[in-house]
Amino acid sequence: MAEYLVTLERINKYLDLTAKAVAKVSIIADEGTEGFAKAEDILGMVNAYHSDAKFFLSEGRGDDAFAAVNYAHGWIDCGVRLGYLDGKGDWQLFTLSD
């Protein structure tokens, strides 16, 4: 079994948290607008990092998995904070502005 500096339980907690965040958000801008394209780009990065995290975990690279999932959540949090994504007022999943 691989040894992690970050526990498997903690990695899975953040994988689940980010998956919940992805399921909750929606794009604010109308399709075909620059804002919509930026939101799609943000979500593409979120999905890529989340996928990387799962891959790293499957390879026994828990520390890399933890780093990748935190990048994923940082991207989605940024998208909500900047107003490209709607976080539905969820203060537990996102850092919302006042």
pLDDT tens, residue by residue, 8-67: 999 999 999 999 999 999 999 999 999 999 999 999 999 999 999 999 999 999 999 999
Q: What is the pLDDT of residue 92?
A: 87
d(CA 83, CA 1): 42
Tokens coding 64: 């890399």
How do the domains of the chain map onto residue ranges?
8-86
What angle do the packed helices 8-24 and 34-58 form, to 10 degrees?
160
Q: Examine the pLDDT at 98 and tell me if it is beyond 80.
A: no
Torsion 76-42-19-29 (CA) sign: positive
Q: Is the pLDDT of residue 1 over 80?
A: no
Residue 81 has pLDDT above 80, yes or no: yes
Q: Which two tokens stand for residue 24?
A: 């909750």
| Arch. (CATH architecture) of 8-86 | Up-down Bundle (1.20)
Q: How far is it, in rounded angstroms, from Cα 75 to Cα 62?
A: 20
Average pLDDT of the residues in 75-96 = 92
Question: Minimal CA–CA distance to 73: which of 55, 92, 60?
Answer: 92
pLDDT score of 96 more than 80? no
Closest CA to 14 of 65, 55, 59, 60: 65
